[in-house]
């Protein structure tokens, strides 16, 4: 299945991008105050290359460390980060679905055909190493001023780390029990040379681990891995079920085990092939006001209290690069990644909703706030059952405001098709389901209350059985013979379309 090489670290991937003409080095001076973001945003919208800024300047002058941006600015590069071409993503999705719920073995030939599944299972085990390039330089007097962290938008509160893989474990777990680890992408505001604010929302794995340490009244060890390999970056960004470790899952995506090394000052294992590791402690009850920052909604989020991380060490390679991204009204990197993940997750979604034909999470709707599903409809009430199943499938879908269900003859990715189905197959008094006081992320300021909001489900399917008392309309379609005649005639006249 994998058609591209394994990328064990960030620089092997950027070297590959450079060889494909997909990396642009910028040697002109560029300020970390919004300028790097403005350049990256324009390049992303044009479908452009990875950017490497070699001369970045901050408030205190030039920062020696180079800056990488727009790593996953195209769907093709997201797929490449997984070792695939874009058209191979559905195949990987089917493989992951089979790995998740394998069917009984039907014989020796079937067993041998499943060797890739066994190999993938072996790759879920992390590989512990004794030394690592990410620890070539160890600073026990941390200084965030040496890392080129941008301030992305004019209204931002300050520099923001946007692409960290944040590693935590629950209280009482062993350092070596990496299957219990959470690896999530949570932004971190820089508020001093050795202090960050960790913004993990309540439903995220990192926040859940933090609550276990708070209840025990103990400081919590945290590590931020900056500049990880593509598989770990993408695995950490996926909304996985809570019982699935991102560290183990990334081994499946990578096709190779995740190498980990013991951190220097905290009891955690950290990615050995990262560019930079920030180590530190979150102490019970210590919080600070985080934000405002521009977010993926296209608005600045409100200020709220989040835990403070006090750094105990920074380790890095001898010649590290710092990876950043920015979020804003789509398109942005998260929305590009979301489009690929939509395809990757479809086979898994079909395991939960067997009648599902297709699902589309429009990037313009923040990649999760609106979902459009096409189904093979067979019985009354099926569309409503599918809505409720989606809302309950993953924590991320509990933040989906609107679910539209259409028939299999409607393309959910075509707004014109969806609009036609809604206009002709939906009655607002019968086919709309409203839920109130359901979970919602606090970034949604349109909600009446922070964290609680309504949801709407729209059944735009053909109505059957007791769903209607009227004769249902028949969809118009031209006779196949007439269509064939028209095609042949117009082709002879040079009007083929």
Which among 259, 335, 299 is positioned nearest to 155, based on CA atoms? 299
The average pLDDT across 415-432 equals: 98
Between CA 148 and CA 152 the distance in angstroms is 12
On average, the pLDDT of the chain sits at 93
User: In sequence order, what are the beta bridge partners of 30?
Assistant: 56
Least confident of 50-54, 115-119, 159-163, 407-411: 115-119
**pLDDT score for 125:** 81
Q: Domain 10-323 is of which CATH architecture?
A: Roll (2.30)
**Band of pLDDT at residue 270, cut at 50, 70 and 90:** very high
Who's near 212: CB < 8 A, 6+ residues apart?
Answer: 170, 171, 172
Using the predicted structure, report yes or no on whether residue 113 has a pLDDT greater than 70. Answer: no
Using the predicted structure, report yes or no on whether residue 241 has a pLDDT greater than 90. Answer: no
Using the predicted structure, report yes or no on whether residue 242 has a pLDDT greater than 80. Answer: no
Between CA 439 and CA 453 the distance in angstroms is 6
**pLDDT score for 497:** 66
Using the predicted structure, report yes or no on whether residue 115 has a pLDDT greater than 50. Answer: no
410-419 long-range contacts (CB < 8 A, ≥24 apart) are 410/374, 410/460, 411/358, 411/374, 412/358, 412/359, 412/360, 412/372, 412/373, 412/374, 413/358, 413/360, 413/372, 418/372, 418/460
**pLDDT score for 116:** 54
295 part of the active site: yes
Alpha-carbon dihedral sign for residues 263, 268, 269, 271: negative
> At which residue do the structure tokens 């971190």 appear?
188
Using the predicted structure, report yes or no on whether residue 3 has a pLDDT greater than 90. Answer: no
Q: Show the 3-state SS of 202-214.
A: CCCHHHHHHHHHH
192-238: per-residue pLDDT in tens? 999 999 999 888 899 999 999 999 999 999 999 999 999 999 999 98
Q: Domain 353-467 is of which CATH architecture?
A: 3-Layer(aba) Sandwich (3.40)
440-468: per-residue pLDDT in tens? 988 899 999 988 999 999 999 999 999 99
**pLDDT score for 106:** 47
**Band of pLDDT at residue 118, cut at 50, 70 and 90:** very low
**pLDDT score for 248:** 85
Given a contact cutoff of 8 angstroms between Cβ atoms, the answer to whether 320 and 140 are in contact is: no
Residue from 295, 332, 358, 444 carrying the catalytic annotation: 295
All CATH 2.30.110.10 domain ranges of the chain, comma separated, are 10-323
Given a contact cutoff of 8 angstroms between Cβ atoms, the answer to whether 324 and 151 are in contact is: no
**pLDDT score for 112:** 41
242 vs 354, higher pLDDT: 354
Given a contact cutoff of 8 angstroms between Cβ atoms, the answer to whether 79 and 89 are in contact is: yes
**pLDDT score for 114:** 42
User: In sequence order, what are the beta bridge partners of 433?
Assistant: 457
Who's near 203: CB < 8 A, 6+ residues apart?
Answer: 395, 398, 439
Helix (H) or strand (E) holding 304: strand 304-316
Which among 337, 30, 333, 327 is positioned nearest to 153, based on CA atoms? 327
Instruction: Say which DSSP state 413 is in.
Output: T
All CATH 3.40.1670.10 domain ranges of the chain, comma separated, are 353-467
**pLDDT score for 443:** 85
Between CA 246 and CA 235 the distance in angstroms is 6
**pLDDT score for 65:** 98
Using the predicted structure, report yes or no on whether residue 123 has a pLDDT greater than 60. Answer: no
The average pLDDT across 139-160 equals: 98
């Amino acid at each position: 299945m994998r058609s591209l090489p394994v990328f064990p670290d960030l620089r092997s991937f950027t070297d590959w991008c450079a060889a494909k003409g997909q990396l642009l080095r910028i040697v002109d001076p560029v300020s970390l105050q919004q300028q790097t973001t403005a350049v990256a945003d324009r390049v992303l919208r044009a479908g452009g290359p990875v950017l490497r800024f070699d001369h970045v300047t901050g408030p205190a002058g030039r920062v020696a460390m180079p800056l990488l941006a727009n790593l996953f600015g195209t769907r093709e590069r997201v797929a490449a980060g997984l070792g695939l071409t874009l058209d191979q993503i559905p195949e990987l999705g089917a493989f992951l679905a089979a790995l998740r719920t394998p069917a009984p073995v039907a014989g020796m030939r079937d067993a041998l055909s499943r060797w890739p599944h066994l190999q993938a299972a072996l790759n879920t085990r992390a590989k512990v190493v004794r030394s690592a390039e990410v620890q070539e330089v160890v600073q026990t007097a941390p200084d965030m001023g040496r890392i080129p962290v941008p301030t992305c938008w004019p209204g931002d509160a300050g520099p923001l780390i946007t692409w960290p893989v944040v590693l935590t474990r629950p209280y009482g777990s062993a350092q070596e029990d990496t299957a219990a680890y959470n690896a999530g992408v949570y932004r971190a505001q820089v508020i001093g040379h050795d202090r960050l604010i960790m913004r993990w929302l309540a439903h995220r794995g990192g926040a859940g681990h933090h609550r276990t340490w708070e209840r025990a009244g103990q400081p919590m060890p945290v590590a931020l891995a900056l500049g990880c390999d593509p598989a770990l970056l993408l695995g950490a960004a996926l909304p996985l079920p809570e019982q699935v470790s991102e560290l183990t899952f990334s081994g499946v995506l990578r096709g190779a085990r995740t190498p980990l090394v013991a951190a220097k000052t905290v009891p955690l294992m950290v990615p050995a092939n990262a560019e930079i590791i920030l180590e530190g402690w979150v102490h019970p009850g210590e919080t600070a006001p985080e934000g405002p920052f521009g977010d993926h909604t296209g608005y600045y989020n409100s200020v709220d209290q989040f835990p403070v991380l006090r750094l105990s060490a920074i380790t890095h390679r001898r010649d590290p690069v710092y990876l950043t991204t920015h979020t804003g009204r789509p398109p942005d990197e998260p929305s590009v990644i979301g489009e690929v993940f939509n395809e990757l997750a479809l086979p898994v979604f079909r395991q939960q909703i067997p009648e599902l034909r297709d699902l589309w999470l429009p990037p313009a709707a923040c990649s999760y706030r609106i979902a459009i599903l096409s189904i093979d409809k067979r019985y009354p009430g099926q569309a409503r059952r599918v809505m409720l199943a989606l809302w309950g499938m993953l924590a991320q879908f509990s933040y989906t405001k609107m679910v539209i269900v259409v028939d299999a003859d409607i393309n959910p990715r075509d707004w014109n098709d969806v609009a036609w189905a809604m206009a002709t197959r939906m009655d607002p008094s019968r086919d709309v389901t409203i839920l109130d006081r359901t979970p919602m992320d606090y970034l949604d300021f349109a909600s009446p209350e922070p964290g609680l909001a309504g949801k709407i489900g729209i059944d735009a399917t053909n109505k059957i059985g007791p769903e209607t008392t009227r004769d249902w309309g028949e969809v118009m379609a031209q006779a196949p013979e007439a269509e064939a005649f028209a095609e042949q005639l117009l082709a002879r006249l040079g009007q083929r379309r």
